[in-house]
Amino acid sequence: MESNSLVAQENMGVPAQDGQNSHNQSMDGTNTTAVENAGQQQFITFTVGDQEYGVDIMSVREIKGWVETTLLPNTPEYMRGVLNLRGVIVPIFDLRCRFGLGKTDATNLHVIVIIAVKNRMVGILVDTVSDILTVSNSDIRDVPKMETLIEEEYLSGLVTIEDRMVALLNQERLFDTKVIENGIAIGKIDET
């Protein structure tokens, strides 16, 4: 099985490793097994407006610049369409729109982060990719119970790094499995 982050490593300028050791390498070259055993987790962080979010580095498959997608009928506004990524139909979701903050006016400066959600790949449209964070499990705080723009169910925790707060996404709750499956099915029909 290919390392979870080999494609992303190549796109971020980190060479992919051959052989068994590649399974445990993160995008910054850190041994992820050692990080996990030390009670730490790694996250790729990115921005949407003034907010910074993170996803588990092991779910990231690729990071690429914005490209136009194939729009599909009868899909939620936050689904920008689908992308054919080396023969795999990948639904692309606008994270800003998903959070109810309006549709992103995507330019070539925007980024698509391809992540695994359960057994499917999806892309999320974000403004910029920021950093790779390694944090102790004890530094991840629960999301406070309050009304916010982003429903707390979409977040798995919060991390404070120096003077900034990073909201960690729960990607399995953020993207409806039915919408993903419908997007992939319609995308395959449109290709024929």
CATH value at residue 82: 2.40.50.180
| CB contact at 8 A, 129 and 44 | yes
Look at residue 62 and tell me if it is in a domain.
Answer: yes
Residue recorded with tokens 């993903």: 180
Query: What is the C-alpha separation between 126 and 115, in angstroms, rounded?
Result: 13
The Cβ of residue 39 has, within 10 Å, a number of other Cβ atoms equal to 10
Q: What is the pLDDT of residue 52?
A: 95
pLDDT value of residue 21: 35
Which of these, 129, 124, 170, 90, lies nearest to 11 by C-alpha position?
129
Per-residue pLDDT, 59:
93
- Write down the pLDDT at residue 18: 34
Q: Choose among 64, 65, 63, 91: nearest CA to 78.
A: 91
Instruction: Please check whether residue 25 lies inside any domain of the structure.
Output: no
Residue 8: how many other CB atoms lie within 10 Å: 24
Residue 33 inside a domain? The answer is no
Number of domains within the chain: 1
pLDDT in tens, the chain (192 residues): 333 333 343 344 333 333 333 344 555 555 555 555 568 999 999 999 999 999 999 999 999 999 999 998 888 889 999 999 999 999 999 999 988 889 999 999 999 999 998 888 999 999 999 989 999 999 999 887 766 555 567 888 999 988 889 999 988 878 766 655 655 565 555 554
Domain annotation covers residue 112: yes
- By the 10 Å C-beta count (0-12 exposed, 13-18 middle, 19+ buried), 24 is classed as middle
**Domain of 46, in residue numbers:** 39-191
Domain presence at residue 24: no
Tell me, yes or no, whether 143 lies in a domain.
yes
- Quickly count: other Cβ atoms within 10 Å of residue 138's Cβ: 8
Q: Report residue 69: phi and psi, to 5°.
A: -110, 165
Sign of CA dihedral 6, 11, 12, 18: positive
Question: Which alpha helices (DSSP H) does 45-91 contain, by range?
Answer: none
Task: Give this prediction's pTM.
Answer: 0.72
What is the predicted pLDDT for the residue at 122? 93
- Asked, for residue 43, whether it belongs to a domain, the answer is yes
Residue 88, token pair as written in the block: 């795999």
Q: Which of 35, 33, 4 is nearest to 136 (CA)?
A: 35
- Supply the pLDDT for residue 159: 93
Residue 15 domain flag: no
pLDDT for position 181: 63
Residue 73, pLDDT score: 87
